[in-house]
Amino acid sequence: MHNFTYEQPQSIEKAAGSSGRFIAGGTTLVDLMKLGVETPPVLVDVTALPLAQVETLPTGALLIGAMVRNSDLAHHPVVLEQYPVLSQALLSGASPQLRNMATTGGNLLQRTRCPYFRDPTSGGCNKRNPGSGCAAIDGHHRMMAILGTSEHCIATHPSDMCVAMMALEAVIHIEGAKGKRTIAIGDFYKLPSDTPHIENALESGDLITHVELPPASGTKQAYLKLRDRASYEFALASAAVVVRIDGGHIRFARVAMGGVGTRPWRSHEAEAMLTGKAANSAAFTSAAQAALAHAKPHPENEFKVELAKRCVVRALKTATA
Amino acid sequence: MANEPKRPTGLRPTGLRDDQQLVDLEPISDDGSKTFNGQLSRRTFLSSLGAASLVAGAAPLSVASPVSPNAAVTDAPAVAKAVLINGKSYDLTGLETRVTLLDLLRERLYLTGTKKGCDHGQCGACTVHVNGRRVNSCLTLAVMTAGKEVTTIEGLGQPENLHPMQAAFVEHDGYQCGYCTSGQIMSAVALLKEPIGPTDEDVKHAMAGNICRCGTYPNIVAAVKQVRSQSRVS
């Protein structure tokens, strides 16, 4: 592992604006540092910062500190009761050990599992080494994305938590060199386009401090994750759905997908086919079709198109049952 | 030697001559007067090449890596940092930042009960408890354990005083080669304090972070269930 300096600022003010790389659980960063993919000269440990609270705001929104561990968040009583899709998503991911280590902020910033990205000795990777090409497109890409891809990168965003937070329309709170700001999660992640090495809206020194979830009372929610193994495996396709039903009709729908997008994939197309419709199989199927209408699979991951459609349908059925 | 960490009887490090010993972090005594007293040994020097992180020297812990002389020198922190491991305090001051908790345990402290299976958080063989929670020590930086309590399999029980989970694993034959076993047991003990459901599926899901190539899963589940039921009764 590349050597580095370790700092442990005792306040958010000292941490924000730092030019070093923030480390919390380390489950992505230490992994990638061992592979030589990440070589930060300075690590800034933010785990001691007072950002480990989960509190309900007067607005009814939930403010989650960036240092809250994934396991604590998944089992939090308010999350279980009001945001079950988030709990389900978190518990479907990784392992209990990793969930004890990983933090909310870190989970947002996890990086792709593309084998070419993770292996600096492999073929070209525009995300790891801009301009070097994308070896996955003509190589092994079974786990790679079918939505949001470009000719420069087809790497999947592997998270479950982020997909649920997309469907819940989370707002990310950031503190940086220029002070505090917020970004809607829908605007946080970038498409690879011709700059796959730029994954999100963070600027140098930006520290994620909190994630805010708007109230979701009265909604039915479900997270469904489909994968090769029953546990400890990334999604081939997943879906997070949040709907509000009134008199058998869908008044409000949010649909997000995982395992298929270069970023956690919010599907406005699916939502348009659901809102105002009767909550039945026909509506769910048309939503799924719309969600995948613009999918651009490659030969090894073509199966994901149909799988993702069925995943959306099943998630909607489960949520509305 | 009076200051050697207690090792299970019947085990000797192989490949060491009589005049060699392992580089050990000395536990700090209660008054904090002890400092590192390492001696160069062939085994530890070889270990440092592989682990790319260890410092071996007759002097107190140095900061420069013997493997990459051009790497940035780590500043030794001004404040002494210590970690409690199985009830003993160890001074982390001067330890290279890139040492993982796993390598600290195995290579420096000779607490080899914790295993390195994948070194990337994908198998669970390295599972230990940090502040009572199960984590993968391979992805934990040792410097980040300062001020925390670590429990390894060695701290869970002794051959003459097994933890109930260890006894249950023996009773239910919950291992074959034994390589995943310490991680399995550490995971199983930790889940006793986690909010998991009552069914077999719940136990399997809760143990999903520990992989067993020998396939002893049904016996592991049986052992865990036995201890869980005992915990409920008692």
Confidence band for B73, pLDDT divided at 50, 70 and 90: very low
Output the pLDDT for position B11: 35
Q: Cβ of B208 and A23 within 8 Å?
A: no
Asked whether A88 and A222 are in contact (CB, 8 A), the reply is: yes
- Examine the predicted complex and report whether its ipTM is higher than 0.95: yes
CA atoms A296, A106, A234, A280: torsion sign: negative
Query: Please, which residues 75-94 of chain B have a Cβ atom closer than 8 Å to chain A?
Result: 75
User: How large is the angle between the packed helices B164-171 and B217-233, nearest 10 degrees?
Assistant: 140
Confidence band for B36, pLDDT divided at 50, 70 and 90: very low
Of A30 and B20, the one with more pLDDT = A30
Query: Please, which residues 105-124 of chain B have a Cβ atom closer than 8 Å to chain A?
Result: 119-122, 124
Give B96's contacts in chain A (Cβ within 8 Å). Answer: 3
Q: Cβ of A27 and B139 within 8 Å?
A: yes
How far apart are the CA of A146 and the nearest CA of chain B, in angstroms? Answer: 26
Average pLDDT over residues B9-36: 46
Contacts of A275 (CB under 8 A, 6+ apart): A250, A251, A252, A253
3-state secondary structure of B147: coil
All domains of chain B, ordered by start, with CATH?
A: 164-233 (1.10.150.120)
Give A34's contacts in chain B (Cβ within 8 Å). Answer: 119-120
Output the pLDDT for position B17: 56
Output the pLDDT for position A32: 98
Q: What is the pLDDT of residues B182-214, one digit of tens each?
A: 999 999 999 999 999 999 999 999 999 999 999
Long-range contacts of residues A54-63, Cβ cutoff 8 Å, at least 24 apart: A54/A78, A54/A79, A57/A212, A59/A215, A60/A215, A60/A217, A61/A212, A61/A213, A61/A214, A61/A215, A62/A212, A62/A213, A63/A173, A63/A210, A63/A211, A63/A212
Distance of alpha carbon B34 from the chain centroid:
22
Output the pLDDT for position B28: 55
Of B6 and B122, the one with more pLDDT = B122
Give B72's contacts in chain A (Cβ within 8 Å). Answer: 3-5, 41
The residue in chain B having the minimum alpha-carbon distance to the alpha carbon of residue A44 is B144
Give B98's contacts in chain A (Cβ within 8 Å). Answer: 1-4, 33
* Chains A & B: contacts with CB separation below 8 Å: 96
Residue range A1-321 forms a domain whose CATH class is alpha beta
DSSP A22-77: EESS-TTHHHHHHHTS---SEEEE-TTSS---EEE-TTS-EEEETT-BHHHHHT-H
Average pLDDT over residues B84-99: 96
3-state secondary structure of A173: strand
Closest partner residue to A4 (CB to CB) among B98, B127, B133 is B98
pTM reported for the whole predicted model: 0.87
Task: Please give chain A's pLDDT, 321 residues, in tens.
Answer: 999 999 999 999 999 999 999 999 999 999 999 999 999 999 999 999 999 999 999 999 999 999 999 999 999 999 999 999 999 999 999 999 999 999 999 999 999 999 999 999 998 999 999 999 999 999 999 999 999 999 999 999 999 999 999 999 999 999 999 999 999 999 999 999 999 999 999 999 999 999 999 999 999 999 999 999 999 999 999 999 999 999 999 999 999 999 999 999 999 999 999 999 999 999 999 999 999 999 999 999 999 999 999 999 999 999 999
3-state secondary structure of B90: strand
The share of chain B scoring above pLDDT 70, in percent, equals 65
Sequence spans of domains, chain A? 1-321
Output the pLDDT for position B198: 94
